[in-house]
């Protein structure tokens, strides 16, 4: 039977926690600023260099820091105040935006400048993302943790939806130079709130683990060994890593090709609607699970089943020929993706030992985000050899195999 530790307790809404409401609002503003910066910087860089290689580097520089530094950042959270690490991430975000603005004003942007700024932005994301998950646990506790993780995931999708639109509006009204400077303001609420936010183990003076040195690769290896002794955490890390490695968000980068092949009117509009359907499904999942979440238990088997259905939805989409049906399937895929991804993260949070919580969350972040650096190979590169439909189908099938094996193993263990 399933142990009590494996399943999240019935959760109350994290929105009832005053501190979390402030955290969520400032988190959403920072997420929106992240996407606004992408819109402005990518547009200016493309206009200046017309470099496909720089576009590829932008993707790698965004995800590779998660692969390399997530566990070390998690280890830093075990030693230092998570609030200060998040603030360091916000300072790096602001540094990147101000850097872009300086080069726009002076018209002196060179290719290597852009690469450095993109790398700074990627490192800021690691500091912010992993440390935020660490602080989140302390703000809401176990009773509202699943709700908080779900709301944060919904906020990320909202940022993806709203950020580009706001970025385009800001760039149109103020121009890219003033727009990128104004964008720094959206990072400030989180930065300022954390100066005195009464949360975190260091604020409470609670020490749950020895102050171990941060050892880079040795930390990653040791954390993997430790996680192998935690069945639920290990399964969720593997599930998230398989989703990230085989699929990630690479199919979204191939969406213009899918839109053209579906042949429904204006390819540009078709592309926008396909992306919107995926994000809209995720937003609906966040809303329904938050308001009617009692019908879906936060448990490993639930996460695996939802993940398997997500793979089935993308496998089906890869062979779609009817545009309206493709919209519906992508809407369903977005719904399933947010559902299983937020559930995996909540289960890792609930089952991570306090003595190594930072490292465990760092390993999960490395798996769930860092491995996305390789999804461009599984879907994109394979698609250039065959076609994007077959490459997505094979990638989805590979992921479904992993999810299915994890679910089968869990049933064989009788849990």
- 184-237: per-residue pLDDT in tens? 999 999 999 999 888 877 666 665 555 555 566 777 788 888 898 899 999 999
The predicted model gives 79-92 an average pLDDT of: 93
Residues 125-154 as b/e (b if ≥16 CB within 10 A, e otherwise) read bbbbbbbbbbbbbbbbeebbbbbbbbbbbb
The larger pLDDT score, comparing residue 380 to residue 283, is at: 283
Contacts for 379 with CB less than 8 Å, ≥ 6 apart: 247, 248, 250, 251, 254, 388, 391, 392, 395
The larger pLDDT score, comparing residue 312 to residue 389, is at: 312
pTM above 0.85, yes or no: no
Domain spans in the chain, listed from the N-terminal domain onward: 14-205+214-412
Candidate from 102-106, 115-119, 355-359 with smallest mean pLDDT: 355-359
Distance CA 33, CA 46 (A): 20
Instruction: Please report, for residues 22, 35, 118, 269, 394, the alpha-carbon distance to residue 27 in angstroms, rounded to integers and kept in the order given.
Output: 8, 13, 21, 30, 36
Residue 2: predicted pLDDT: 44
Confidence band of 335 (pLDDT split at 50, 70, 90): very high
User: Which two three-digit tokens encode residue 193?
Assistant: 């709130």
User: Whose CA is closest to 337, among 252, 267, 411, 415?
Assistant: 252
Mean model confidence pLDDT for the chain = 83
Candidate from 256-260, 294-298, 378-382 with smallest mean pLDDT: 378-382
Residue 102: predicted pLDDT: 95
* Burial class of residue 226 in the structure, from the number of CB atoms within 10 Å of its CB (0-12 exposed, 13-18 middle, 19+ buried): middle
Contacts for 303 with CB less than 8 Å, ≥ 6 apart: 236, 239, 340, 343, 344, 347
Positive or negative: CA dihedral 330, 331, 332, 334: positive
Question: Residue 403 above 60 pLDDT?
Answer: yes
Helix, strand, coil shares, percent, the chain, to 5 = 85, 0, 15
- What's the fold here for domain 14-205+214-412? Growth Hormone; Chain: A; (1.20.1250)
Report yes or no: 5 and 351 within 8 Å, Cβ to Cβ: yes
Residue 211: predicted pLDDT: 54
Residue 138: predicted pLDDT: 86
Residue 6: predicted pLDDT: 53
> Of 74-78, 260-264, 395-399, where does the model show the most confidence?
395-399
Confidence band of 242 (pLDDT split at 50, 70, 90): very high
Residue 56: predicted pLDDT: 64
Contacts for 124 with CB less than 8 Å, ≥ 6 apart: 89, 90, 92, 93, 95, 96
Render pLDDT for 17-35 as a digit per residue (tens, 0 to 9): 888 999 999 998 998 888 8
């Amino acid at each position: 039977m399933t142990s009590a530790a494996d399943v999240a307790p019935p959760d109350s809404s994290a929105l009832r926690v005053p501190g979390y409401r402030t955290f969520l609002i400032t988190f959403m503003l920072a997420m929106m600023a992240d996407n606004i910066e992408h819109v402005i910087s990518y547009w200016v860089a493309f206009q200046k260099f017309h470099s496909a290689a720089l576009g590829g580097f932008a993707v790698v520089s965004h995800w590779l820091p998660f692969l390399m530094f997530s566990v070390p950042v998690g280890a830093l959270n075990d030693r230092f105040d998570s609030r200060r690490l998040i603030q360091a991430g916000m300072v790096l975000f602001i540094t990147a935006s101000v850097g872009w603005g300086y080069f726009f004003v002076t018209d002196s942007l060179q290719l290597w400048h852009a690469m450095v700024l993109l790398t700074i932005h990627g490192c800021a994301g690691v500091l912010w993302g992993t440390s935020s998950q660490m602080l989140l646990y302390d703000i809401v506790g176990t009773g509202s943790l699943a709700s908080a993780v779900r709301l944060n995931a919904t906020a990320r999708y909202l940022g993806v939806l709203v950020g580009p639109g706001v970025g385009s509006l800001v760039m149109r009204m103020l121009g890219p130079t003033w727009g990128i400077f104004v964008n720094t303001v959206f990072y400030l609420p989180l930065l300022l709130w954390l100066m005195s936010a009464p949360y975190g183990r260091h604020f409470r003076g609670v020490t749950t683990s020895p102050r171990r040195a941060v050892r880079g690769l040795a930390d990653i290896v040791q954390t993997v060994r430790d996680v192998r002794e935690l069945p639920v955490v290990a399964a969720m890390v593997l599930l998230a890593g398989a989703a990230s490695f085989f699929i990630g968000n690479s199919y979204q980068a191939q969406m213009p090709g899918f839109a053209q092949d579906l042949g429904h009117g204006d390819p540009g509009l078709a592309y926008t609607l396909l992306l919107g359907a995926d994000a809209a499904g995720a937003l609906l999942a966040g809303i329904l699970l938050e308001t009617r979440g009692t019908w879906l238990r936060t448990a490993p088997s639930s996460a695996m089943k939802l993940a398997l259905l997500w793979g089935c939805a993308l496998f089906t989409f890869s062979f779609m020929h009817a545009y309206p049906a493709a919209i519906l399937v992508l809407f369903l895929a977005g719904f399933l993706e947010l559902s299983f991804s937020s559930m995996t993260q909540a289960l890792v949070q609930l089952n991570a030992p306090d003595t190594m919580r930072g490292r465990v969350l760092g390993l999960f972040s490395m798996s769930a985000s860092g491995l996305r650096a390789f999804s461009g190979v599984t879907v994109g590169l394979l698609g250039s050899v065959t076609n994007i439909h077959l490459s997505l189908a094979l990638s989805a099938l590979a992921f479904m195999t992993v999810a299915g094996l994890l679910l089968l193993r869990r049933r064989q263990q009788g849990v």
